Amino acid sequence: MRFDLWMLVLLWPMGVASGATPEWELVRTGLNETAFIDVEVHPAQPQRLFAASTRALYESADAGRSWQERFRLPAQVNAVGVAITAVQEPIILLATDRSLYGSFDGGKLWSQVFGSAGADETRCTSVIVHPQRTNVALLGTQGGLFVSEDSGRHWREVNAPLDGRAVIQIAFAPHEPARA
């Protein structure tokens, strides 16, 4: 599999640049944790939301009106991002500053699915699932880029120049999903 890697420096919404005011709505979660670091919408069920705080992953089945904790991270481990697949019982990948955790049954059971001997490779920075090929996922770490072709169960490193190994963020090109 070939991925063309692009560096994205800054995205600026056109409406903001032209003076349009974005509309926001305050949502009260009822959770003790107030800082979500990542929120994902289930692609096939838009009322189903997943939100990661630095310490836990939560799910809402009713468009954010109520939340249930799905996974609490071990002590001294902080979440950095979440990715989900579009299948009925989604595969959930939770990237942390120490490893990657995965649930392959919609959030019921969890296991560590990525972690290596090198400290830089273990510090995840970003995780994403391909928008069309849900068995393909990319994982960015301080030590490089990794790809999974089995929905996050196994990972292999993508060759990258040594001076550009730290990956900060990953995105697929919307009109060319073969590009990452």
| pTM to 2 decimal places | 0.80
Higher pLDDT, 122 or 57: 57
- Where residue 52 falls among pLDDT bands split at 50, 70, 90? very high
What are the CA-CA distances from residue 7 to residues 4, 108, 166 (Å)? 10, 35, 12
Residue 83, φ and ψ in degrees, nearest 5: -140, 145
d(CA 27, CA 46): 16
Helix (H, G, I), strand (E, B) or coil at 125: strand
Q: Write the pLDDT tens digit of every residue in 35-50.
A: 889 999 998 899 999 9
**Nearest Cα residue to 152 out of 112, 109, 98:** 112
Residue 162, φ and ψ in degrees, nearest 5: -60, -35
Q: What is the mean pLDDT of the chain?
A: 82
Percentages (nearest 5) of helix, strand, coil residues in the chain: 5, 35, 60
d(CA 147, CA 152): 8
Q: Write the pLDDT tens digit of every residue in 69-114.
A: 999 999 999 999 999 998 878 999 999 999 999 999 999 999 999 9
